[in-house]
Structures are given as C-alpha cells and as structure tokens.
A = this chain, B = another copy of it.
Amino acid sequence: MAASATATPHYVRIAESLMRQMQRGVLRTGERAPSLRQLSLQERVSVTTALQSYMWLENRGYLEARPRSGFFVRQPFANEIPEPQFEPGGVREGPPGMDEIFEDVFRTANDPTCIGFGAGCASPELLPARRLNLNLKRIVHRDPLHSSRYDFPPGAEQLRRQIARRVSHIESGASPGDIVVTDGALESVGLGLRAAAKPGDAVAVESPTYFGVLANITAAGMKIVEIPTHPQEGMDLNALESAIRKHRIKACVTMPNCHNPLGYVLPDDHKRALADLAGRANVAVIEDDVYGDLAAGAVRPRTVKSFDNKGLVILCSSFSKTLPPGYRVGWIMAGRFRAEVERLKFVTTVASNSLAQRVVADFLESGGYDRHVKRLRNSIALQVGSVRRAIARYFPDGTRISRPAGGLLLWVEMPPGTDSLKLYRAALAERITILPGPVFCCGNRYRNYVRINCCHTWSEVYERALVKLGRLAGDCRTHSG
C-alpha cells in the first residue's frame, strides 16, 4: 500500500482532535466552535485547512454551520438514532425471495412521476455530465472513427491504465494487464462467478445483500448460501468457515466497502481475515467495490483484494455510482481467473462500448475524476444526513437507521410487525419508490426493513415524501407488532 494512502491529512487530524474535545465535554453541544481565524492561528494552518476540518465535522454531524454566525457543536447523529440490530438467523441455503418485484423496480425507476428512493445512483445534477460531454465532443472531433472497431477484451488500454493507476493506491503493483473492462460492476460480478464456480456450485453471500447479486448467482445456475452479517462488522467469518465445509462453497460474494444495503466499511483486520480464510479454504472471493470511491473520510478504504496473496480475490467495480450510469463502464481485476474472465466477457457480450471507455479514460487522465469524487462524497454525505434526520423525525417511534460509512444507501429497521412489502405497495400507490427488506435475502426475512436511496439533492419535495412514507409506515403495522 502506498504511503500516501495511509497518511492522515492534517485537516482530518485537527478535526479528530476537535471531535475528542466534544466527546470529553471540552466543547459542549450548542456551543459555538472557535472561529476559522482562531482555529487557523491555534493550529498554525491556513484558513482553508481550518475550513476543511469544519466541513469534515459538519459532514459527520458534529458541527452545524449557521449562516453569518459560524459553526456550532451539535449532538452527532450517532447518539440520536440507534442503528439496526444484528439478526444472527444462521446460515441458510435457498433461492432469492422476491424475484417478482424486480420488474416493478426497473419499470418505476425511470418514471419521472415517481419520487425515487428505490433503485438508484446519484442525482443527475451531482454528476459531471458537462465535463464528460466536452471530452466526448473532443474525441469525436479528433477521431471520427472512434467506434468503428470492437474494443475486444480486455478493453481499451488507455482506460485500463488509468484504472490500474487508481487501484495501485490500494494494492501495490496493479498493471493495465490485470484489468478487464466490463459494462458495469454487476457484469463483473457475474463474470467472476462464472470464472470461479460452475452451475450447481454453492456461493456464500452476506445477508442482507444487494438483490442484483442474488439474482445474478441464480441466473448463473448456482446455489445461494446466506451468511449472517453484522450491521457494522460484516459477515460472520466463523459461520462462513463452517459453511464452506458444510455446503462446499466455491465462491463468496462480498461488499466490504459501503455495503449495500448495510452501509458499513469493514475494518482492515476483518478484510485481512477474509482474505486469509479464502486462501486457507481455496475459495474465490468476489469483492464488489462499486461504492468504494464514495466511502467517507479522507483515506480511501482498502479492499480485501489488497490482502490477497493467492490471486483468489476478484475485485469488481464500475463508474456507475460516481459518473452518469448510462455510460455503462465497469471493470474487473480477476487475479488468477483473469484469462477465463477475459474469455467469458468475449463469449457473452463480446466488447464494451468504445466511446464510453474513452470518455471515462480521458476524465480519469485529466484528474477531473478525483476532484469530482471528492465533491460528490461531501454532497452525498449531506444528503444522507438530511434523509437520516427526516426518517428519525417522521418514521414511527422505535425505527432504527444505519449509519453508513459512505455511499448513498440507508437501511431502515422499522418497529417489529411493520410490513415493508405492504409499505412498498402503499408508497408506490402514492408514486414513491422504496425497496422492501425481503428483496435483500432468500426466503422472507427483513419484513420490517426498507432500503432508502439518498440520491436526491435535499429539498422540500423529498421531505414531504418522507413525511408521507413515515405515516404509511405507521399504517403498515400488523397486530403482532
């Protein structure tokens, strides 16, 4: 791992020291924080650095900026709203539960008359459409024949070089030859699965997990084995280890950074332990890092792949969460499965869109991507905070909300007895989309959970929609609740 990635920036260290002062009561809730000028003098840093520290704290809910008055200490969200509980549940094998809801999900996803907290990505106004359009026009002007050949696997060299450079911050020594371009992270996961396992094989997944992954495993003819997953600490590795033996698991799909739907970033020692277990048991790990660039904090979290010394971890990602998703540019770094993944890409979708690969590559090359992602992370953190506060205020008492370490998803545990499928249908009737808990597992669990996507720039429209959702959630309680 590069030294630059481990060093904590100065403004984060200042912010963390202020946070500790709050925890010790040196700075108390409601109190005005030192002015930017004061802080810059105290810490011998520029006013800009001082502002960065305050913004870092604001994004995490420790400070509140009041126009023309300065920054005030607020009680962090963490203390206000409890997080969802761990539901051990045990290891289970089975088909995904809620396949039939899929069609609804993608039919309503782009319906402009719906307020979408369901399937999602960042709001269009947060994405650098104009910058990419400039790149696009320049490419078309310079090379009118941009699309006249298939960009056969592994895909455009310029793009793979840029991806390898960024991946090098996490794993040492990634080269363009390690990367295969795909049409998105889910295609990457599917390619990884089929390279590492065969139809009929068992695949371990977190529970709950992204419904696309569950459906993808089933589409590959493989069996799903759910591993109990803690809302902050991730998959139960002991349960995984015994499941590997008992169910003869050939691969494990995991999302250690900004888990969908739980939101956690797995600590490094857990990541290392997972890589080690995979090595011992000779099981492939398909690591979905699609939200990794949206992890909060100044340091990009590491991947399980960065602890892998046997080539067993298949790292999957895409630009669909940070750039306009219609571009469909993803990638896979498949370790020992590289040749097979390349072959499978060729025999299933032949090649990815040529122009999109070049537009994204140019944006990465210019450094524009990194600047954009930094801004995007902060905007999304604010949105997540706003939605979180609104849910806490408008949902029934006893509601618990995940405290995501990045990404744009909230996992909401409503009081026992609340029927999220009923809520899903009632909300859809009001033109509001959410995703009910049972789609994130096999069988019919997480009945009182919903996933809320905080993709929209906060406005009264969304506040009103959450008021309505909260009221509907109260109405959707069964007697047992």
Complex: A136 Cα to B356 Cα, angstroms: 12
Chain B residues whose CB sits within 8 angstroms of the CB of A32 once the complex forms? none
Q: How many chain A residues have a CB neighbour from B under 8 Å?
A: 65
Complex: A95 Cα to B5 Cα, angstroms: 47
Contact of A133 among B102, B144, B194 (CB under 8 A): B144
A14-22, A83-91, A213-221, A397-405: which lies at the interface: A213-221
A129 at the interface (CB under 8 A from B): yes
A255 at the interface (CB under 8 A from B): no
Chain B residues whose CB sits within 8 angstroms of the CB of A110 once the complex forms? 149-152
Q: Which partner residue on chain B sits nearest A109 by CB separation?
A: B152
Which residues of chain A from 296 to 340 have a CB within 8 Å of any chain B CB?
A: 320, 324-328, 339
Q: Is the CB of B150 within 8 A of A326?
A: yes
A2 at the interface (CB under 8 A from B): no
Taking the closest CB of chain B, its distance from the CB of A325, in whole angstroms, is 5
A130 at the interface (CB under 8 A from B): yes
- Please encode chain A, from 343 to 373, with 1 for each CB lying within 8 Å of some chain B CB and 0 for all others: 1101111111111100000000000000000
Chain B residues whose CB sits within 8 angstroms of the CB of A346 once the complex forms? 102, 106, 212, 215
Chain B residues whose CB sits within 8 angstroms of the CB of A132 once the complex forms? 147
A475 at the interface (CB under 8 A from B): no
How many chain copies? 2
Q: A149 and B106 in contact (CB under 8 A), knowing A136-B140, A219-B347?
A: no
Q: Is the CB of A328 within 8 A of B352?
A: yes
Q: Which partner residue on chain B sits nearest A195 by CB separation?
A: B219
Chain B residues whose CB sits within 8 angstroms of the CB of A102 once the complex forms? 343, 346-347
A53-61, A180-188, A224-232, A243-251: which lies at the interface: A180-188
Taking the closest CB of chain B, its distance from the CB of A373, in whole angstroms, is 16
Complex: A136 Cα to B151 Cα, angstroms: 19
Q: Is the CB of B221 within 8 A of A106?
A: no
A438 at the interface (CB under 8 A from B): no
Complex: A346 Cα to B119 Cα, angstroms: 12
Taking the closest CB of chain B, its distance from the CB of A296, in whole angstroms, is 24
Contact of A324 among B106, B147, B219 (CB under 8 A): B147
Complex: A59 Cα to B184 Cα, angstroms: 43
A459 at the interface (CB under 8 A from B): no
Which residues of chain A from 369 to 388 have a CB within 8 Å of any chain B CB?
A: none
Q: Which partner residue on chain B sits nearest A133 by CB separation?
A: B140
Chain B residues whose CB sits within 8 angstroms of the CB of A464 once the complex forms? none
Taking the closest CB of chain B, its distance from the CB of A369, in whole angstroms, is 15
Q: Is the CB of B339 within 8 A of A351?
A: no
A460 at the interface (CB under 8 A from B): no
Q: Is the CB of B103 within 8 A of A348?
A: no
Chain B residues whose CB sits within 8 angstroms of the CB of A326 once the complex forms? 146-151, 351, 353-355
Q: Is the CB of A349 within 8 A of B351?
A: no
Complex: A119 Cα to B150 Cα, angstroms: 10
Cross-chain pairs A/B with CB under 8 angstroms, 25 sampled: A102-B346, A103-B339, A107-B152, A110-B149, A121-B150, A124-B145, A129-B146, A130-B144, A133-B140, A151-B326, A183-B349, A183-B353, A184-B349, A184-B350, A187-B348, A190-B348, A198-B221, A199-B199, A200-B200, A216-B347, A219-B347, A221-B221, A324-B354, A353-B356, A355-B355
Instruction: Pick the 10 closest A-B CB pairs, nearest first.
Output: A326-B354, A147-B326, A199-B199, A199-B221, A124-B148, A106-B152, A215-B347, A147-B324, A353-B353, A148-B324
Q: Which residues of A contact B (CB under 8 A)?
A: 99, 102-103, 106-107, 109-110, 119, 121, 124, 127, 129-130, 132-133, 136-137, 140, 144-153, 183-184, 186-187, 190, 194, 198-200, 212, 215-216, 218-221, 320, 324-328, 339, 342-344, 346-356
